[in-house]
Amino acid sequence: RVFERAYDKKVVDHYENPRNVGSFDKSDLNVGTGVVGAPACGDVMKLQIKVDDEGNIVDSCFKTFGCGSAIASSSVATEWIKGTHVDEAVTIKNQDIAKHLNLPPVKLHCSMLAEDAIRSAVADIKAKRAAAKTA
């Protein structure tokens, strides 16, 4: 029965044991911060990255005020981007996250938050570094 459709167990796992929950110091020059909201539901996700001089993401964390799918999506996103280069991280698509978590179509916008948050965090660190260079 439709109303009994359970979340995929990966979603439940990431929701109950979210990886990388936390915050980095926003003012740190090696930290990029992305804060994005979902127009569809009003939920908010903050995702942060710690980046070395070569542009590699050495650490990542998130805080999400949102549904289970959004929390699971951000948890997966932080796992996936750790160890990647920022230019690689921005190629992660919400469809990849949604597919990994078996999100139903009505929950696609929740994984969109994670894609947007990654892009926003990368844009932030790039802007910060560009500003530091010209300062």
DSSP code for 19: T
Nearer to ligand FES, 47 or 128 (CB): 47
Q: Which two tokens stand for residue 52?
A: 């070395």
The least CB distance from residue 76 to ligand FES, in Å, is 4
Nearer to ligand FES, 21 or 30 (CB): 21
What character string, x for contact with ligand FES (CB under 6 A) and - otherwise, covers 22-41?
A: ----------------x--x
Q: Catalytic annotation on 61?
A: no
**Options 63, 100, 126, 129; binder of ligand FES; rule CB under 6 A:** 100
Q: How far apart are CA 23 and CA 34, in angstroms?
A: 11
Cβ burial 84-107 (10 Å sphere, 16+ → b, else e): bebeebbebebebbbebbebeeeb
| Interacting residues with ligand FES between 36 and 95 (CB under 6 A) | 38, 41, 43, 66-67, 69-70, 76, 79
- The alpha carbon torsion through 39, 104, 48, 60 (nearest 10 deg) reads 180
